[in-house]
Structure 1
């Protein structure tokens, strides 16, 4: 079955930001094995002033449910990019930190993201 637009409708190019985020997601997947969410989690951990970071802060940062965040963190932990452990002083709190592999993967992904975002969202060149 072939999807077609109803007669009388025209397809419009998605806004630049949406197209760019889609491209970024693809680049992160292909070159770094990360989803856009994975990249955001690793970035939050890399930029955190205090290490490790409580899972609750990551959940709030991404506006995700606890279940979704657990799913994302399980995948990152299985890949060896993060470590999760319970806080010693309060065993109810789970904290997350980057591994050296996670820090390196984020650094590579960050370079890819900056290049792609600069290319697609940087200042537009005027036609001569």
Structure 2
């Protein structure tokens, strides 16, 4: 937990917190994705088109089942994922990335790499006052 108010204008937030906040903001602004959405789409993209059980996504993000269900519902409503019950085991719900989801993730990944690339300097997180690497 942060021992100071990150919104206190007299103090600078920790560099990692600031970087994640910037990334979240850019993903929202440019792609309509929250950081959690980006992580879910990325996990699905890594699966290479294979269905991923919801339980695996829940473990990856260390979220509650209720929170994961809400995240997935939102992504499904946006047409970025599909949820289906596994053939042969109707208790298991699996998620796959749609073509629109893959395209959105590909664009968001470019943004994430750019933001993180500007903020990371030789394996360390840059502070806001540090110039971006040229």
TM range (shorter): 0.7 to 0.9
Helix, strand or coil: the match of 1:11? coil
Query: What TM-score comes out, normalization by structure 1 length?
Result: 0.86
Determine helix, strand or coil for the equivalent of 2:90: coil
Greater C-alpha radius of gyration = 1
Alignment of 1:12 with 2:11, yes or no, is yes
CA RMSD of aligned residues (A): 2.1
- Tell me, yes or no, if structure 1 residue 85 matches structure 2 residue 87: no
Task: After TM superposition, give the deviation of residue 49 of structure 1 in Å.
Answer: 5.4
Q: In the alignment, is the contact (CA less than 8 A) between 1:28 and 1:34 conserved in 2?
A: yes
- Return structure 1 stretches of 4+ with deviation > 6 angstroms: none
Q: Which segment is superposed worse, 28-37 or 40-49?
A: 40-49
Q: Secondary structure of 2:115's partner?
A: helix
Q: What TM-score, normalized by structure 2, do the two folds share?
A: 0.83
1:23-64 Cα deviation digits (max 9, x unpaired): 000000010000000000000000125710000000000000
State how 1:29-108 maps to structure 2 within 5 Å.
29-48=28-47, 51-108=50-107
- What's the counterpart of residue 114 of structure 1? 113
SS at match of 1:92: strand
How far, CA to CA, are the matches of 2:49 and 2:26 in structure 1?
A: 29
Cα displacement string for residues 67-99 of structure 1 (whole angstroms, at most 9, x for unaligned residues): 000000000000000000000110000000000
Higher strand fraction: Structure 1 or Structure 2?
2
Q: Within 2, Cα distance between the matches of 1:55 and 1:95?
A: 6
SS at match of 1:91: strand
Deviation, structure 1 residue 11: 3.3
